[in-house]
Amino acid sequence: MRPDDATFFKMKPDAGETGAAAAPLFLSRPVERLSRDGLETFVDDLALEEPLEMEVVFGPAEAREVKTISITMRTPGHDRELAVGFLVGEGLLRELDQVESVSSRGPQFGKVQNSVRVALRAGVTLDLKRLERNCYTTSSCGVCGKTSMEALKLNFFPPLPAAEWQAPAEIIRSLPERLREAQDTFQHTGGLHAAGLFTPEGRAIVVREDVGRHNAVDKVIGTQFLEGKGGLGRTILVVSGRASFELMQKALAAGIPMLVAVGAPSSLAVQVAEKFGATLLGFTKPSGFNIYTGSGRVRIEGAAATPSYDKQTRSAQPSPA
């Protein structure tokens, strides 16, 4: 991508990448808009989308191998965290000690480099069977990139503890708005997803934006991993869109027991959450939310029982005792 006379990048410091200067988050260009008042020209901000190649170096010291593990479309920024978070979410990384270095690579345009290499320490094994997916993954893709159901085997998640803490319902209802308030680039473009890690008291730990929902989650998880912040068992992952299987998988791989989505969950996301004892909430808004699994981590005070709605008869049914 090259800017012409009518296009220019907006830059912002990228605090998530050590030693990095500003990284472009969106670009602005004049566009024409037709309204009832006629045709007008104005400057619009567009969410930046660029490909990112993720490489991993592994094997014994005398026979190192380099392999491209994924190519994804993403919003530049926090690329190191994205690559590491991807590896964590796929169950390939468990401890920070497994990582020797993480570096941005490739031709540089402005402040953007579209390749990241994660070097594992000599002797660290890499189970490449977990990466049985197509070599190209779009920014919006979820489980669709898998090449077979064998790649969906869920045997690498750390066990979740029982529901030993609760988040108040009033805090949960406020989480989407708290996430939105932290979306700097969304305010300009309206074109980015976001993911954020919050405490049960509603404090934002880290928020990341990206054109891809799963990329934003990878950036959140990768940030915590590279900072050596384990013990995410008392945190809530909040996502701006729907809750797919892949997002539920990433939360479980990182040991995050609660996923709160603004949109709907998929059937497989609910099944996986239920199987592993996670809490999955959807359609979260100021007026309420749906609890699909793991209600033990939600504290509801003063809520009266209400009749349930039967879709078959389209009538209210008594709530179960």
pLDDT of 251 over the 70 cut: yes
144 is catalytic: no
Distance between CA atoms of residues 19 and 102, nearest Å: 12
94 vs 318 pLDDT, higher one? 94
Q: Which of 141, 167, 253, 278 is the catalytic position?
A: 141
Q: Give me the chain's average pLDDT, please.
A: 79
CATH topology of domain 50-139: Ubiquitin-like (UB roll) (3.10.20)
Task: Place 40 in a pLDDT band, splitting at 50, 70 and 90.
Answer: confident
Distance between CA atoms of residues 226 and 209, nearest Å: 18
For 223, the 3-state DSSP assignment is: helix
- What residue type is assigned to position 74 of the chain? R
**In the chain, domain spans:** 8-47, 50-139, 167-299
What's the pLDDT at 111? Answer: 64
Distance between CA atoms of residues 11 and 22, nearest Å: 6
CATH topology of domain 167-299: Cytidine Deaminase; domain 2 (3.40.140)
Domains 50-139 and 167-299 share a fold: no
Report the sign of the C-alpha dihedral through residues 224, 142, 24, 115, in that order: positive
| Helix extents (H) in 14-155 | 79-89
For 65, the 3-state DSSP assignment is: strand
What's the pLDDT at 161? Answer: 85
pLDDT of 305 over the 80 cut: no
pLDDT single digits (tens) 66-98: 999 999 999 888 999 999 999 999 888 989 999
pLDDT of 315 over the 80 cut: no
